[in-house]
Amino acid sequence: MQIQVQLVFEDDFGGVTRTQEVARLQRDELSLTTLGLTLADAKDLLQKVQSHVVEQQVADYQQQQRPCPHCQQRRRVKDQRPITYNTLFGKLKLQSPRFFQCDCQPQETQSFSPLSELLAERTAPELLYLESKFAALMSYGLSVQLLAEVLPIDRRLNAETVRNQTHRLAERLESELGDEQVMFIEGCQRDWAQLPRPEMPLTVGIDGGYVRSSEHPSDPQRSFEIITGKSIADDGSSKCFGLVHRYDEKPKRRVFEVLNGGGPDSVLSRHIF
């Protein structure tokens, strides 16, 4: 049996603008190994679908950016350079033309590249999310192995890349954290007593431990204390938080933001702080 997989692109009015063959699969006698898609088939299909879909999206976007938004005159192309964009389903090479600015309005630059400006971060958010999520659960090397096992990501992804991207994400989240406060509640003791109590049952656990230097275990400057916690709401949902006691400059803010994400935890956080 021959199986052909195609992509059909339609415009906003339902008209077919392009049909692209993605893959052809051959299936003969049915067995446990030929039933459905194999992992290799799935990874190959995902990579090809991603490539064709992104190619069409980029082409449409560049056509939209070509006319001047003021006079609608088509801007001239200065040059074209490839950019690399890393996604969950493969590393893509995208052609990024640079357009001359139109003379109808004063501009700060003579030319610009719409695609390069749009994709300032060259790694897809979903890939960063999975890298950071697994890197928080296991080593960087194992995270790379897991992602490469189930997704058609680039073979050159390595532990150092995951480590650097995870640290950049952590620094960005840290910069978005609000200022530390002594208290996160306004008013006086009389007002605080009127706050509604969290819905029960609600379980909160806090624990801690010390991480000591393997080379200098007795040196207090080379050891640090970790405090972690977890809250479990009535519906089974849970939230976790953690901080390094001696180095964290905003411990109250960090715990407050985690618990104040809505639901019963938001009420709990105000009772705590």
**202 lies in a domain?**
yes
The domain boundary, picked from 143, 176, 209, lies at: 176
Backbone Cα Rg of the chain: 26
Q: How far apart are CA 99 and CA 189, in angstroms?
A: 63
The predicted pLDDT at position 127 comes to 92
Model confidence pLDDT, tens digit, residues 105-129: 888 889 999 999 999 989 999 999 9
93 is written with which tokens?
């090479």
Task: Print the domain residue range for 199.
Answer: 194-272
Based on the fold, state whether residues 68 and 82 are members of the same structural domain.
yes
Q: Is 193 exposed, middle or buried (0-12, 13-18, 19+ CB in 10 A)?
A: exposed
The predicted pLDDT at position 155 comes to 67
Per-residue pLDDT for 22 more than 60?
yes
Based on the fold, state whether residues 18 and 117 are members of the same structural domain.
yes
pLDDT tier for residue 270 given thresholds of 50, 70 and 90: very low
pLDDT tier for residue 267 given thresholds of 50, 70 and 90: very low
**181 lies in a domain?**
no
Domains held by the chain: number: 3
Q: Which residues contact 169 (CB under 8 A, 6 or more apart)?
A: 128, 132
Percent of the chain whose pLDDT exceeds 70: 92
Mean pLDDT of 170-178: 82
Residue whose token pair is 């080593």: 139
The domain boundary, picked from 92, 122, 152, lies at: 122
DSSP 249: S
79 contacts 58 by C-beta, under 8 angstroms: no
Taking Cα atoms as reference points, which of 63, 50, 60, 40 lies closest to residue 20?
50
Model confidence pLDDT, tens digit, residues 66-83: 999 889 999 999 999 999
